[in-house]
Structure 1
Amino acid sequence: MQATSFTYDSETRSGSVLLDDGTPLSFDAAAFDAGGLRLLRPGQRVRIEVEGDGDGRRIALVTLQTL
């Protein structure tokens, strides 16, 4: 699934993305680390993998979207 980086805190390696429908979804350091990223800037297109449904939905992996 694709999204746009919205916030990122380099100290905690956590942040949030906006799904294409505008829904915000947070990610933690484990999801950031799973993608092998070193830095993330707001506005970058990312690819995410999501686990769970409804209120239990969480990002398991976030990485840069490449063509």
Structure 2
Amino acid sequence: MQGTVHTFDPATRSGTVLLDDGTPLPYPASAFDASGLRLLRPGQRVRLKVEGEGAERAAVFLTIATMSDPFV
């Protein structure tokens, strides 16, 4: 799944991604930390792994879209 970074707070290392259909999806610090990245910028394209349903749905991993996918 891919989306676009909507928000990123460097202090908490969390934020939101807008999916291609415009749905905002939160990502916790643990998803950002798993990426190995140091920073995300609003508008940056990312690939993400999502788990959960409904209100519990959240990204558990994200990386820059051009980087290799560790789940393939």
Bin of the TM-score, shorter chain as denominator length: over 0.9
Which whole-Å CA distance do the structure 2 matches of 1:18 and 1:50 have between them?
13
Over the aligned positions, Cα root-mean-square deviation in angstroms equals: 1.0
TM-score normalised to the size of structure 2? 0.88
Matching of residue 60 in structure 1 with residue 60 in structure 2: yes
Which whole-Å CA distance do the structure 2 matches of 1:56 and 1:28 have between them?
12
Give the secondary-structure state (helix, strand or coil) at the position aligned to 1:12. Answer: coil
Matches within 5 A, 1:22-41: 22-41=22-41
TM-score normalised to the size of structure 1? 0.94
Which whole-Å CA distance do the structure 2 matches of 1:8 and 1:58 have between them?
15
% identical aligned pairs = 63
Superposed displacement of residue 58, structure 1: 1.2
Segments ≥4 residues shifted beyond 4 Å: none
Letter in 1 for 2:22: G
Which whole-Å CA distance do the structure 1 matches of 2:32 and 2:6 have between them?
14
Q: How many residues align?
A: 67
Question: Which runs of 5 or more structure 1 residues have no equivalent in the other structure?
Answer: none
Give the secondary-structure state (helix, strand or coil) at the position aligned to 2:47. Answer: strand
